[in-house]
Structure 1
Amino acid sequence: MSSCNGIDHRRTTSGGATDLTPVAPWHVHKRHAEEVYLTHWRRTGPDGFHIRARRPGAHAFYRVGRAFDPLLLCEIVRQTFPLLCHAAYDVPRGHQLIWEHFGYRVDDAAYAGVDRGPDVTMDVHCFDISYRGTRPAALSLRAQVRWGDVPVATAETRFTVQSAAVYRRLRGGYAETGAAMARAVPVPAPDPHALAGRARPQDLVLAPADDDSRQLRVDTTHPVYFDHPVDHVPGMILLEAVHQAVGGADVSALDCAFHRYVELDAPCTIIAASTEENREEQRTLITAAQGDTTRFSADVTSRAVLVREATGRAVR
């Protein structure tokens, strides 16, 4: 399949303030409105978009205020995928987006400890778009992220788009969400010594294992990780496992690949191996495996953590 140009829904608008369109919860695949961080969007070119978001003023899970939480960055960027698919590219409701790759780079300004207010803006460009008929079957997306008026990060991803019928065939016996969640393995106790940047034990996603590895903790009752029922371990839990595997350190770069679904009905082993380290940064390769199969892998660069305050902010 090749890129298709000249489709009516890809027209360029003037890009003025009157072109801003509100974002509905279903646009970003969220059930609860308070977990929707995108507010408005507009088209700036055939495959270019300007998106506005708001960080929450307070949150039981995400670090907010002066703190920069890389998982909140991931969630804000993730919400652009379904938004643009549904609102800009006419992908029907009920289609599934399947993550292939995701990565980000964070600027030093993000970790300066300055409260830049709630407003986040993104300039997004979609590229390498493959079409099935008039609708995308796969696309890549690059986002430049500003917090207040300061550039803080860039992110890039690629995902495929599948109809509900195709997705059911792909998932086979795992396609029924209720049954998949009912088969979830018991949640092990969290690692009591984890420096993970989270204030509450229920937010920890790693548990001790018998060797140097750790087991992924998947609590299907968690209100953020499981805003709505799903038939597999959400990708956001895997991204949080990466952040927690490096002790909640300030992450400056992440590149990850989603090889296969991590299922709910079997333990998942998380292995972190340091590949490069100096006084200021550490590079770590992290894998998630079920049985003998690697399901997810990530290459993460983080800053060394010496002491961590009760707030979860790293101090050097």
Structure 2
Amino acid sequence: MTLVSYAQATRTTRLRPVPQEFTHKLDRSEVLLTGWAPAGEDRVTVTARWPRTHSFYAPVAGRHDPMLLAETLRQSIPLISHGLYEVPLGHQLIWQHFTYEVAPGAMWADGPMDIELRITCDDITRRGGRLAALTMDIEILRDGLHLGSAHTRFSSHAPSIYRRLRGDRCTVSSDVAPLPLSGAVPVVPPALVNREHADDVVLSPTAVPDQWRLRVDYAHPILFDHPVDHAPGMLLLEAARQAAHAVQGHRADAVVPVRFESAFFRYVEFDAPCLITTRVEPATRPGGSDCVSVTAHQEGNEAFSCRVTLAAARA
């Protein structure tokens, strides 16, 4: 077997266009991926462009929002599944764990930004000849400079298997009554979570210190771009980000997340409250980064955890 280097693949292989349906986004303007091409055995190159600004993932302290990278990586999962491993449309792709980090010095936002993902797939599981799960290791570059890295594993389920897994909770968001978004479940002040608009806040206060209730808004155009039957992974990552800001108090706008280490244990359902709890891990050395451990519990079970590393925001 002859392996083709990423550099050789870039020189000799024409990037293929990204079909919108391969990103699982209904709004074409929210598709960040621009091209892709195989780059060897179980390897692929994916390109993406970030806009100068974004309605939800806006620049922070003169740098692109690190959550744009999370969404770029999320879109690459269905692209690779459908494009490289021929997973049929309609199969459900479910995160198991997801870790990524960015190099803050390479995130400056002086206009639209082109990035390259160099992805290696490993630990591939198949069921009945179809992809059932795989692990991705990703190197992220900007103009040849190191921008970040990521490691993730996800599973793939045929519709019939997924319906058996979900049982009577296999009901998409457009068909269930939403939990209240105001009144009994108010929104936390946007500034507390480093947000400008209340509609973009995904946490509601509780009587317990450093604990919030997950706020689910099916009408949100970014987090709920298409109908789903459980809380999307990007919503949980955003909740972790906002909770990490919230525990900073008056320093909420003085830090940015640079690393997420997350694990998805159970589906977060729409018909029961989900509680988000945080614990601050102080820096181990002077001038070091703080880490915030975030957990999501529902119906007495831990459904999601995320360790968020924060760094000082510098314009």
Range class of TM-score, shorter chain: 0.7 to 0.9
Shift of 1:194: 4.2
Distance of 2:228 and 2:193 partners within structure 1: 25
One-letter amino acid matched to 1:36: V
The ranges of structure 1 where at least 4 consecutive aligned residues each deviate by more than 6 angstroms after the TM superposition are 10-14
Q: How many Å separate the matches in 2 of 1:257 and 1:241? A: 14
Superposed CA offset, 1:73-99 (max 9, x none): 100011110000001101011001111
Q: Summarize the Cα distance change of 1:199–1:178 in structure 2 as closer, same or farther, 3 Å threshold.
A: closer
Does the 8 A contact of 2:15 with 2:36 survive in 1? yes
> How far apart are the structure 1 equivalents of 2:85 and 2:148?
25
Structure 1 residue aligned with 2:264: 258
Q: Which residue is 1:206 aligned to?
A: 203
Contact 2:290 2:310 in 1 (8 A): yes
Q: After superposition, what is the alpha-carbon deviation per residue over 1:107-137, rounded to whole angstroms, capped at 9, x for unaligned? A: 23245x4526421111111111011233211
CA separation in 1, counterparts of 2:32 and 2:112?
14
Q: Distance in 2 between matches of 1:286 and 1:225?
A: 19
Equivalent position amino acid for 1:177 in 2? V
Question: What corresponds to 2:152 in structure 1?
Answer: 157
Indicate conservation of the 8 Å contact 1:117/1:148, yes or no: no
Q: Residues 51 and 111 of structure 2 are in contact (CA less than 8 Å); yes or no, is this contact kept in structure 1? A: no
SS at match of 1:52: strand
Structure 1 contact 118–148 (Cα < 8 Å) conserved: no
**Unpaired segments of 5 or more residues in structure 1?**
305-313
Q: Which of 264, 285, 290 in structure 1 is aligned with 2:298? A: 290
After TM superposition, list the pairs within 5 Å mapping 1:111-126 onto structure 2: 111=107, 113-115=108-110, 117-126=112-121
Contact 2:48–2:114, Cα closer than 8 Å, also in 1: yes
Q: Decide whether the 8 Å contact of 2:114 with 2:143 is kept in 1.
A: yes
**What is the rounded CA distance, in whole Å, between the counterparts of 2:200 and 2:42 in structure 1?**
37
CA RMSD of aligned residues (A): 2.5
Mapped to 1, the partners of 2:190 and 2:37 lie a distance apart of: 45
Q: Mapping of 1:52-131 within 5 angstroms? A: 52-64=47-59, 66-111=62-107, 113-115=108-110, 117-131=112-126
Does the CA-based 8 Å contact 2:66-2:258 persist in structure 1? no
One-letter amino acid of the counterpart of residue 154, structure 2: F
Gaps of 5+ in 2: 246-251
Q: Distance in 2 between matches of 1:223 and 1:131?
A: 34
Matches within 5 A, 1:1-316: 15=9, 16=11, 19-64=14-59, 66-111=62-107, 113-115=108-110, 117-177=112-172, 181-187=175-181, 188-192=185-189, 194-212=191-209, 213-247=211-245, 249-277=255-283, 279-304=287-312, 314-315=313-314
Moved more, 117-126 or 191-200: 191-200
The residue identity in structure 2 corresponding to 1:234 is P
Aligned residues between the structures: 298
C-alpha deviation, 1:206, in angstroms:
1.0
| TM-score normalized with structure 1 length | 0.87
Once residues 114 and 35 of structure 1 are traced to their aligned partners in structure 2, the CA distance between those partners, rounded to angstroms, is 18
Identity of aligned residues (%): 39
Within 1, Cα distance between the matches of 2:204 and 2:191? 9
- TM-score, normalised by the number of residues in structure 2: 0.87
